[in-house]
Structure 1
């Protein structure tokens, strides 16, 4: 899921970029302090009329609307602008087998969002938010026959607004939006609270509150529905960006042959085939760790001493199951997860720096692994073994051997890409 939501909002008007001459004149008037309330209202109305006349707002990219795998899902991603509902209606008319719509949107035009909601209700479609649906998008979401939100997903609310001549946020009264929410079954008190949030901010309620207020009907995991992570950009470049967002450690291998391109193509193929997001991520991480392990095996002994220290630090912070994988497999992905969790969620740079260092040395060539007995299976034993190795005379070779024991076949079968 994306880390940030670009809030477009609950705008009723969206215009094009035009002259800047009126901007200089109106800006000073609209920002003058001490203006009586009635005059501010008149000035706001004037700003809207001027904005209609000179069309100063730049056109936003059209929302992407596409049929998903098997023809049962429609994906809508991006701003809900002029013509969005008409395009969705055309697609739905051509595909009566559609039963669900995925919504990933930062908001847009109220009238268009209401029209999208009418189409959803008329077709008795289920709605699903795989990442975020904020502002006007929520007007469409609540019209679903069932309304599913992915765990850790975001529904965002605020008051409607009109955009003035220079993008000023001019808060509007929300009776239309309130009536729409309530008619869709949303708890009236929740709808009123949502529409009282200032237009320039965003309220993202907890999942339990959304269920209680009948905004969402269920919270689902990422393995429930087909992957929607590429709805906004189902291209090789979009897939590559998604892979790097999911596994930032792979940035250290950027430019190293076709590793990233191959992973992106595999991820894109899974998306097109309707693979669930959770399954796709598991397969991606398994393949990424295999490539990372291959690169690390080519690192010299001095680098392995640093790798060993990093793995040891991660094992001491990790849960037992992750600890065993970090130590027994040299799993740098899980090591980064553990280290980042221990630093307030900020990504730890040590694993990426070590991977880049190893990539610059070995070029992926496998170096001989020192023969050694299988390391301890328990976390405490692995931690002790790493500590002893770091204190020994041949630390690099010993650590390489300790970290070169993949899972047993029964475990490995569940981790391989399918």
Structure 2
């Protein structure tokens, strides 16, 4: 009987180890906390938030309903992937924790957390969004026929309108997540090639950090 129990115990351990090994390289599971670290070198993949991460995170959360917190370390990446991941955090009611750094698109993910914390020595950074010229050129070439853009000036006009909508949506999201409106506006002051790192006290006062889960009181 003891032999059977030992064999079963070994099988359980092997199964748990296999489940951990099956996680994509940017993710690791520590109890109820899922670590999402885009700064670790992953062969063949960009060290940033990508569309692939959205699909992988959705699969992980579906298979591991015990996950209650997403731990972040990322300098950002795709704005749209960040928004999709933030949606998954909201959908699953997860808390968020920064352990390392969280900048740009990562902040959108962080703000989706019900409880939002940051370890000592970690940082949260803000800057304006940008769209590199080569990416704009590629988008123009791929979309000009469908959108009936006769010249790049038509694209420029569209970008002007779309940018205003995007800024409005982003500020609205921050305010909806409990961030002070004045602070949200201030996050736009830093150029895309720089970062603004507010102090922990400033982040608490602005509602970026929140030790109590939404809907709870102290």
TM range (shorter): 0.5 to 0.7
Contact 1:77 1:105 in 2 (8 A): yes
TM (normalized to structure 2)? 0.65
Contact 1:161 1:199 in 2 (8 A): yes
Q: 1:155 aligns with which of 117, 124, 141?
A: 124
Counterpart of 2:30 in structure 1 is 69
Counterpart of 2:168 in structure 1 is 175
Name the SS of the counterpart of 2:131 in structure 1: strand
Contact 1:129 1:148 in 2 (8 A): yes
Shift of 1:202: 0.5
Shift of 1:204: 0.3
Q: 1:164 to 1:184 in 2, by over 3 A?
A: same
Shift of 1:159: 0.9
> What whole-Å deviation, never above 9, does each CA across 1:359-417 have from its counterpart, x for those lacking one?
xxxxxxxxxxxxxxxxxxxxxxxxxxxxxxxxxxxxxxxxxxxxxxxxxxxxxxxxxxx
Shift of 1:198: 1.4
Distance 2:118 2:205 in 1: 14
Using the TM superposition, name which of 96-105 and 76-85 deviates more.
76-85
Distance 2:61 2:93 in 1: 12
The gaps in structure 2 that reach 5 residues or longer are 1-23, 39-47, 138-158, 212-218
Counterpart of 1:256 in structure 2 is none
- The number of residue pairs the alignment matches comes to 154
Counterpart of 1:141 in structure 2 is 110
Shift of 1:196: 2.5
Contact 2:28 2:36 in 1 (8 A): no
Shift of 1:175: 2.2
Contact 2:27 2:35 in 1 (8 A): yes
The gaps in structure 1 that reach 5 residues or longer are 1-62, 219-418
Q: Is 1:206 aligned with 2:199?
A: yes
Distance 1:196 1:204 in 2: 12
Distance 1:189 1:142 in 2: 16
Counterpart of 1:89 in structure 2 is 58
User: Aligned Cα RMSD in Å?
Assistant: 2.2
Q: Relative contact order (alpha carbons < 8 A, sep ≥ 6): 1 or 2 greater?
A: 2
Q: 1:98 aligns with which of 67, 71, 74?
A: 67
Q: 1:83 to 1:200 in 2, by over 3 A?
A: same
Name the SS of the counterpart of 1:208 in structure 2: helix
Structure number with greater Rg is 1
Counterpart of 2:155 in structure 1 is none
Q: 1:64 to 1:154 in 2, by over 3 A?
A: farther
Q: 1:102 to 1:198 in 2, by over 3 A?
A: same
Shift of 1:179: 1.8
